[in-house]
Chains A and B, each alone.
Chain A
Amino acid sequence: DTAVSQTPKYLVTQMGNDKSIKCEQNLGHDTMYWYKQDSKKFLKIMFSYNNKELIINETVPNRFSPKSPDKAHLNLHINSLELGDSAVYFCASSPGLRSGELFFGEGSRLTVL
């Protein structure tokens, strides 16, 4: 069983479209995150949720909207996609805030044409 799973793994779409990336963890963790990895491999936090509550919302355009229906899921919806949104998006989870290491999904590579 994959601990943190993301779908889809690859996503190619046109500018202006709306798309979603789903994330599920089966580790029983309370905290989930979305990170963006750009073409230079820099990793930047986008959002974190703890027990379904938003903890961090970094300077991310409001075209990006996370949704956490329950502790095991954190989905990312992106409206009006732009070329600069092309990146690899990683979901991660941890037992709780400041409770240990992050467990990462395999990433979702988004390409905006």
Chain B
Amino acid sequence: AQSVAQPEDQVNVAEGNPLTVKCTYSVSGNPYLFWYVQYPNRGLQFLLKYITGDNLVKGSYGFEAEFNKSQTSFHLKKPSALVSDSALYFCAADNYGQNFVFGPGTRLSVLP
């Protein structure tokens, strides 16, 4: 079965420090991979995607993610965290157009 894992329920980081939110996937073939952010009582907002090409993709709000095929990972990163980055982050994989499979989410807290 296709699945996406986010091994950390919660990530805490101090403002100004780099952050990483981890994601691994189990999807056959060449998956499309995505990161979304959800603020309280809001819908999910698209951050970035990997489809093909350069393994490092850049997205909104200074976020980037690195696709690693051998490790089946797609970790989200940001060089310098802001308090306003505190939110729930979801990794997702496109299951050959049938649907998007979402990870369980990781709550990021950036402490001032």
Residues of chain A whose beta carbon lies under 8 Å from any beta carbon of chain B: 4, 33, 35, 40-45, 48, 55-56, 58, 90, 92, 96-107
Contact = CB atoms under 8 A, between A and B. Distances in A.
A14 B100 CA distance: 32
Closest 5 CB pairs of A and B: A98-B97, A97-B97, A104-B43, A43-B102, A45-B99
Contact of A103 (B46, B102, B104, B105): B46
A102 B88 contact: no
Given A42-B102, A104-B43, 9 more contacts: A44-B102, A45-B99, A98-B32, A98-B97, A100-B49, A101-B34, A101-B49, A102-B36, A107-B42
Contact of B99 (A4, A48, A90, A105): A48
Nearest to B45: A104
Contacts of B45: 104
Interface in B67-112: 88, 90, 94, 96-102, 104-105
B104 A98 contact: no
Contact of A98 (B41, B43, B94): B94
Interface of B: 32, 34, 36, 38, 41-46, 49, 88, 90, 94, 96-102, 104-105
B44 to A, nearest CB: 5
A14 B32 CA distance: 41
Contacts of A4: 43
18 contacts: A40-B104, A42-B102, A43-B102, A56-B99, A90-B44, A96-B97, A97-B97, A97-B98, A101-B46, A102-B46, A102-B100, A103-B46, A104-B36, A104-B43, A104-B45, A105-B43, A106-B42, A106-B43
A56 B105 CA distance: 23
B35 to A, nearest CB: 10
A45 to B, nearest CB: 4
Contact of B98 (A41, A55, A90, A92): A55
A18 to B, nearest CB: 25
